[in-house]
Amino acid sequence: MAVHLFKKIGFSSVYHKYMIPAPSDILNMVLSYVKEKTDGRPLEMAVDVGCGTGHYTVPLAPHFKKVLGVDISEAQINVAKQHTLANNVSYMVAPAEKLPMKNASVDLVNSALAAHWFKADEFVSEAVRVMKTKGCLAVHAAYPRLDIKYKDMSHDLTEVMAKAFDTLSQYYDYSIENVLSQYRNIYEAVPLEDKKWITDIPVKIQISVPEIVGLIRSMYMYQAFLEKDLKGAEEFFIQTKKRFQKILGEETDSAQLDLYLKYYCVLACKH
């Protein structure tokens, strides 16, 4: 299992620095759903499960009286605490399958880029337990393919990423099945009648080449590669950077590229 990689201090710092920030399109979709289902009542509590270093936890802060981020990795939680300024956000080390919340106490159970690691039935059962009446569940992530558009170089740049993912695919964990199915397992595990499963949600993010190669470093597959074959992983990383440089030339460090991803989301409400 690759989960242990997230417990490393060094990886947690890299993850925080380079992982793609929470897309506003996804956050707005989740928040609009919550406000619709809760009939505009004041939102007291949100819990972000598998919060990592707080990429999705902190953006929830302006919309709830309190936000709690939980994760099994103490290293990730410590990094999250170091980079969180909001007074109404706190963190706790806890598994997704045993949430440290009272019954019917939460307006939103959110999980981003993490639920593929969870035991789906146990996590969903816990989520439903802590949700208030008209409380909501939002579980979302991105498909492992990145398309890049920039001038007339889009095809070549996208090919660089495709080759990188092809190399890293040999280090996928068991969780990749849940990612490739776009969380069908989570949707099927939700026992609530009021639920929906949205796939292939287009998201565009502006990103530089240094940020893209940093993103590669923040992926658990690359960290697993490093752990198994340090020299090979470092050579792969160097060659990937060189491929970008060959295409972009003098624009390598300055170009702002359009990165296109496909997200998916399971939404549910407890009545």
User: Domains (ranges, CATH) in the chain?
Assistant: 3-269 (3.40.50.150)
Q: Two tokens at 65?
A: 């009286």
pLDDT of residue 6: 63
CB atoms within 10 A of CB 2: 17
Per-residue pLDDT for 161 more than 70? Answer: yes
Per DSSP, the three-state class of 136 is strand
pLDDT of residue 1: 47
Burial 187-217 (b: 16+ CB within 10 A, else e): bebbeeeebebbeebeeebebebebbbebbb
Tell me: the pLDDT tens digits for 185-216? 999 999 999 999 999 999 999 999 999 999 99
Per-residue pLDDT for 83 more than 90? Answer: yes
Per-residue pLDDT for 4 more than 90? Answer: no
At 123, the pLDDT band (50, 70, 90 cuts) reads very high
At 174, the pLDDT band (50, 70, 90 cuts) reads confident
Per-residue pLDDT for 2 more than 70? Answer: no
Q: Two tokens at 134?
A: 């008209």
The vertex-67 CA angle with 33 and 62, nearest 5°, equals 65
Per-residue pLDDT for 110 more than 90? Answer: yes
Question: Quick one: how far is CA 223 from the chain centroid?
Answer: 16
The single-letter code of the amino acid at 1 is: M
At 9, the pLDDT band (50, 70, 90 cuts) reads low
Averaged pLDDT of the chain:
94
Tell me: the pLDDT tens digits for 64-82? 999 999 999 999 999 999 9
Cα–Cα distance measured from residue 106 to residue 120, given in angstroms and rounded to the nearest whole number:
19
Percent over 90 (pLDDT), the chain: 89
Q: Residue 9: CB partners within 8 Å, gap ≥ 6?
A: 75, 78
pLDDT of residue 85: 94
CA-nearest of 146, 179, 144, 182 to 264 is: 182
The single-letter code of the amino acid at 257 is: L
Whether residue 150 contacts residue 258, with contact meaning beta carbons closer than 8 Å, is answered with yes
Tell me: the pLDDT tens digits for 211-269? 999 999 999 899 999 999 999 999 999 999 999 999 999 999 999 999 999 999 999 99
Whether residue 21 contacts residue 55, with contact meaning beta carbons closer than 8 Å, is answered with yes
pLDDT of residue 40: 83
CA-nearest of 179, 164, 145, 169 to 224 is: 169
